[in-house]
Structure 1
């Protein structure tokens, strides 16, 4: 008496192959592509905003002619401050632009505190309301751009090109390098320098 080559289970123990899989196998394909369910964060975890991290500089449309970014020569010592060109300039991907000639208080509807009276006020449209009314101070010190979070609800993030982003501590000034991205809440701005002859 010969032994069987394989064990065959009784009928009904192993479910039948789904019709779709059987049809694909008959057509010569060996794998069935299945849709991956959408990811949902666990309860209590805030889902990422529309712009959770800063986009690269390439995500911003090119500046208008005459507003090209200035840059330090590639042979400069990296410890040297950036080459002095025109004023600092911030530009969002959806066309919001403003310059920082001295001190600027930015937000949805800025009301500068008493110690910042006389600063330029820049109201920034923000339909997501991720930005506070009085969100941040931008100022120029010794030809460097400095940003300070003015106790905003959703914070200020600075993302230097080629580096990791940093969330700023409220009230603590931080330097912003050329070509970095600043996020005020979820609104991102590319940091540029206007040409020196535009002053």
Structure 2
């Protein structure tokens, strides 16, 4: 019968546990394992954080500006969706999400199987299972991460997690999250690499000592000088395992009494225990972003340029742009500065906001601004149409068509008076 595969039950006896079943720091030290210094642990963590920020660059550079604009009220939801850069921002945000998930899974798998991450590999730090001194396992690393992230519910939680490593009663610099995951971080630059299987096997054999069963007290073979005939046992031969003695047929009563104290001897321990190595000595929130520029507001009337312009609205209205004007379904005086003209445009479908857009004369056209309208504005020039971002001034020239809601207007040049 051919064996296709075997299932390793991994039921081997765990070495290095004390009488209470707890990991013995002295055993790990005798193997040559050394705890990772806190400075290099912190540096490794910082490198991992930087790696996660790098994969977020597409989101930060392309999508975040639009998100900030929306959150600060610079653009409506409609304007956000129809923004010229919305498609690119959505694609870049998707790229960042995919990269973030891929990096996160890769880091967790590598940490669970090889005890390493990008930062740990760079600074020579490895994570091991505190009991077996082998790989910690994927789910232990996940649990450790969950505990650390959950500590963020409290403002100082992550800081306490880091500082708790200095209160480790075993002196291994294990924080609360390390205890939750059963993990210990070791230094492979100045100590043994626990993932070097050959060296670990040799180290374990070197410190493996089988405890001999306790023996009953025996009469000493030591015989006082000149009285060998009267000793209960007489040395007769020396062998590789010790000294052989022969019992005498009779016992001298003068020898009755306590036997001299016997010195214990340990045989067959190759190399003995190596001495424990000397003990090794053991992110700011982002600054608030600058406030978004104040939303463009209708300004005071400006002087009329040499060329006059008019707005020919499809409702039949013809409005001369002699200064700043606000157009909408029902512009109210309290919504615009004093002295600004208001133009009400009939709209039975209510597709136009009460204050939809503003127009102001320029030397070479008309400045159009979408005043955070619900349905937005578009400008058409030479057959090309594009959306007008809210609160963003756009220069319209004669012949341009501006669509707002279900209405539209045409910029025309008019003779001056």
What TM-score do you get using the length of structure 2 for normalisation? 0.26
Q: Which runs of 5+ in 1 are unaligned?
A: 1-83
C-alpha distance in 1 between matches for 2:335 and 2:348: 28
C-alpha distance in 2 between matches for 1:168 and 1:186: 15
Which residue of the partner structure matches residue 412 of structure 2?
A: 192
After superposition, the Cα gap between the structure-2 partners of 1:184 and 1:112, relative to the gap in structure 1 and judged at 3 Å, is farther
The answer to whether the 8 Å contact 2:365/2:398 transfers is no
After superposition, the Cα gap between the structure-2 partners of 1:143 and 1:110, relative to the gap in structure 1 and judged at 3 Å, is same
Paired residues for 1:105-144 under 5 Å:
105-111=326-332, 116-144=337-365
**Larger RCO, structures 1/2 (Cα 8 Å, 6+ apart):** 1
What is the CA distance between 1:143 and its match in structure 2? Answer: 4.3
The answer to whether the 8 Å contact 1:85/1:194 transfers is no
C-alpha distance in 2 between matches for 1:114 and 1:164: 32
Paired residues for 1:91-110 under 5 Å:
91-110=312-331
Q: Which stretches of structure 1, 4 residues or longer, exceed 2 Å deviation after superposition?
A: 111-117, 141-144
After superposition, the Cα gap between the structure-2 partners of 1:101 and 1:143, relative to the gap in structure 1 and judged at 3 Å, is farther
The answer to whether the 8 Å contact 2:315/2:345 transfers is no
Paired residues for 1:82-97 under 5 Å:
86-97=307-318
Q: Residue by residue, what CA displacement relative to the aligned partner does 1:62-84 show, whole Å, maximum 9, x if unpaired?
A: xxxxxxxxxxxxxxxxxxxxxx7
Q: Which has the higher helix share?
A: 2
Q: Of the two, which has the highest radius of gyration? A: 2
The answer to whether the 8 Å contact 1:158/1:180 transfers is yes
Question: Once superposed, what is the RMSD of the aligned Cα atoms?
Answer: 2.0
Deviates more, 1:124-133 or 1:90-99: 90-99
C-alpha distance in 2 between matches for 1:159 and 1:93: 15
What is the CA distance between 1:93 and its match in structure 2? Answer: 3.3
What is the CA distance between 1:185 and its match in structure 2? Answer: 1.2
The answer to whether residue 389 in structure 2 is matched with residue 169 in structure 1 is yes
The answer to whether the 8 Å contact 1:112/1:134 transfers is no
- Across the two proteins, how many residue pairs are aligned to each other? 113
Which residue of the partner structure matches residue 152 of structure 1?
A: 373
